[in-house]
Amino acid sequence: MLTNYFTRALFIAFSTSLLALTGCAQPIEPWVKPYERQNLADPIMRTNRHPIANMHIAHVYEARESARGAEGTGGGGCGCN
């Protein structure tokens, strides 16, 4: 049933887009230039550096815990009880 939870998700997801209709006079410039991003581009900073391992640990937690969602690995049903 698509009840309050979906309504909440939809509201947060699209509220930023709706705000655009109001317009804005003073633009904000991107404050970290492309040539200043070498630290963030370093492979050790990648949260999804090992995607196959991340998918496994997300599956382990989803099978043992009630919480699900927002892991960033997709997810899906399985009879893993």
Give the residues lining the site for another protein (CB under 8 A): 1-6, 8-10, 12-13, 16-17, 19-20, 22-34, 36-37, 39-40, 42, 44-45, 47, 50-53, 55-57, 60-61, 64-72, 74-81
| Contact residues for 63 (Cβ-Cβ < 8 A; gap 6+) | 78, 80, 81
Query: 78 exposed, middle or buried (CB, 10 Å; 0-12, 13-18, 19+)?
Result: exposed
